[in-house]
A and B are shown apart, each in its own frame.
Chain A
Amino acid sequence: MKLYSIMIFFKKLKKNIFLNFFNTILSLVILLTTLLVCLNTFRWFIFNADWRVVTSNLSLYAFGSFPSDEQWRPAIWITSLLLLSIITLCGPCWKWIQQNLLLAWMSTIPLGLYLLYGGFGLSPIMSRHLGGLTLTILLTVCSSLLSLPFGIVLALGRQSSLPLIQKLSSIYIDVMRAIPLIAVLFFGQLLIPLFLPVGIEIDRVWRAIFAFTLFVSAYIAEDIRGGLQSIPNTQIEAAHSLGLNQYQIMQLIIIPQALRIALPALTNQAIGLFQNTSLMAILGLVELLGIGRSILANPEFIGQYIEVYVWLACVYWLVCTIMAILARHLEQTMTINQTNF
């Protein structure tokens, strides 16, 4: 039995890799180069790289300049997010866990805000002390949550039969999609204070979240519009014939289906948003990449670009991959639910 499977493996290998002369040469060259690259990387990784720049600054990467005796607060938040991801992915499928999972995910947001900003018994922390991975996650979570309802409204507006609403939301979406994100963020930092009445001020972090929301909601609107357009008209007619009114049709029939169809695109937007929070590094926030830059500016670690950037790339890659796996899991459970109908 074992021998047989090995034979199949070699047959497949022959078919896939050593198909003809050209392919054989190509495969050998690739194997050799990969081996060389891996060996060199491994050697650098173990012997040449000086990982003190990472290991001695771990708390900076995670929490930024958060007061050191309060760092358990963001730590609890990040750990709870991680635990929840693990439970979602490979936890036991007891019914009460499955039912309360969504609630648990929703409750991480107020929990995070409470833990980070303090108040009600915890000492209050200013936004400027936030940094590192904590700030990156905060920016991602808050902006994606705020932009979802805004995006839905814009998408419905663009699909609307009322010409004025349709025009207004189309203009907003098209203009927002035409300008680069960094411009939106930069002018968000500069212009939001100018548009506010004298005396009211928003701090940098929330200005960034607001700018991200304005930008991302235009993209989300287009994704949801795709979902809206793929719902057949018969659904609406069926709902009408059941005697539902306009708002019930929207709330119960159209939006849930459109969101389910748009889900893969929406999760891609969330992953993109997580990566794009790094742009705030050039606009003066010390999120993950910003912390990396400020550590590199420290004379003790000057010139250790490779170590820091490789480490940051690993962190970003890891979080993005976790998000992608969660998204795929969500899609699968959604399709399972749909077949149960």
Chain B
Amino acid sequence: MKRSRKIFLQFGIFIIVFSLIGILINNLTINLIRTGLGFNFNWLLKPASFALAEHALPYSTSDSYAWALLIGWLNSLKVIVSSLLLATLLGTVIGFARTGSNSLLGLISAGYITIIRQTPLLLQLMFWYFIGFLGLKENVLISIKNIFKISNQGIELTGLTFSSEFSALLFGLGVFTSAYIAEVIRGGILSVPRGQWEAFRSLGLSEQTGLIKIIIPQALPAIIPGLTSQYLNLAKNSTLAIAVGYSDIYAINDTIINQTGRAIECFIILLTSFLFLNLLISNSMEIINKIIINSKKYN
């Protein structure tokens, strides 16, 4: 294409896109004036006057909306980090079981992966919440003195208590993501050429040493990008917390919109908090990736 034509084309598309946005904003302002809401963030400092069952920092109903949002963000972070750990642990075990030599174990983990991946997450969350925790008839499932207890009140671990909403979300997200992580790990292990396995066996290394020293270091660079995207998915999926009544950032935004009707402002807040969460996850994974690459270099 000629240069002049390129500039002309871009200019045309610029005008179309911006006139479209202009029309939308115009409609928006008309509608906002009609409903008498306007656009501002002053309401953030007003008292929220709704109760939160779970809060990491002190919170009362007279605290501001902004404080409630921060609590929600921390709740999100709490459930994301803990289910991320659970998912990684489960996913690694299942991924190795899937690739391992025991074909019975491989069959079972393949079944687990298909069942988990072919049913919706929301259904699984409700399953965990209504059947897994609230459905416990005799109230206590497992109780080992005062150390560990699972009941319809949640999980209790040496004084630390997790509500049933949090626990259902933790297991739901953890199990769901673990199936995907297992596939990522399986892909990573399969990406290591078979010759490497044969080579360490012929050197007389045991299966375990070979796996730890030879196979896993080579599989990690293929695994990390897949893991990052699964972690990001997990963070996004954690917003389904609203289905089980856990007050994460999305649920609190939802409550605020129901109270104040400020949909646009809340959308912007949600967007920025998620951009921040995504940056947090992808940057920490980037750091881990760098550490792994560096450790490989010096060995």
Contacts and interface: CB of A to CB of B under 8 A. Distances in A.
A binds B: yes
Interface of A: 16-17, 19, 23, 26-27, 30-31, 34, 161-165, 168, 175, 178-183, 186-187, 190-191, 193-198, 246, 271, 275-276, 278-279, 281-282, 289, 305-306, 309, 312-313, 316-317, 320-321, 324
Interface stretch (B5-13, B43-51, B153-161): B5-13
Contact of A164 (B14, B126, B254, B257): B14
B14 A180 contact: no
A194 B102 contact: no
A212 to B, nearest CB: 14
Contacts of B243: 282
B140 interface: no
Contact of B32 (A163, A182, A194): A194
B201 to A, nearest CB: 14
Q: How large is the interface on B (under 10, 10 to 19, 20 to 34, 35 or more residues)?
A: 35 or more
A316 B115 CA distance: 10
Given A195-B27, A305-B130, A316-B118, A183 B270 contact: yes
5 tightest Cβ-Cβ pairs between the two chains A and B: A180-B236, A16-B103, A320-B118, A275-B120, A278-B120
A contact face: mostly helix, strand, loop, or mixed: helix
B275 A178 contact: yes
Contact of B34 (A17, A168, A198): A198
B250 A182 contact: yes
B275 A309 contact: no
B30 interface: yes
Contacts of A19: 101-102
A175 B127 contact: no
Contact of B271 (A179, A196, A282): A179
Nearest to A16: B103
A228 B130 CA distance: 45
Interface string B1-40: 1000010011001100100000010011011101000000
Contact of A194 (B27, B121, B135, B236): B27
18 contacts: A178-B275, A180-B236, A180-B238, A180-B250, A182-B242, A183-B239, A183-B274, A194-B31, A195-B31, A198-B27, A198-B31, A276-B120, A278-B122, A282-B122, A289-B126, A313-B127, A316-B123, A320-B119
B108 A34 contact: yes
A31 B271 contact: no
Contacts of B17: 168
B239 A309 contact: no
Given A31-B104, A164-B10, A316 B119 contact: yes
A196 B243 CA distance: 29
Contacts of A320: 118-119
A27 B10 contact: no
Nearest to A175: B271
A141 B197 CA distance: 46
Interface string B220-258: 000000000000000011111011000000100010010
Interface string B94-130: 0000000111110010000011001111110011001
Given A180-B239, A187-B263, A275-B121, A23 B30 contact: no
B122 A289 contact: yes
A27 B108 CA distance: 11
Query: Which one of A168, A278, A324 has the highest number of Cβ atoms from chain B below 10 Å of its Cβ?
Result: A278
B66 to A, nearest CB: 19
A23 B101 contact: yes
Given A182-B242, A278-B123, A282-B242, 13 more contacts: A17-B104, A19-B101, A26-B105, A161-B6, A162-B6, A168-B17, A178-B278, A181-B236, A183-B271, A183-B274, A313-B123, A320-B118, A324-B118
B267 interface: yes
Given A17-B103, A27-B104, A317-B115, A179 B274 contact: yes
B101 A187 contact: no
Given A275-B119, A279-B122, A309 B102 contact: no
B108 A30 contact: yes
Nearest to B130: A305
A182 B254 CA distance: 11
B131 interface: yes
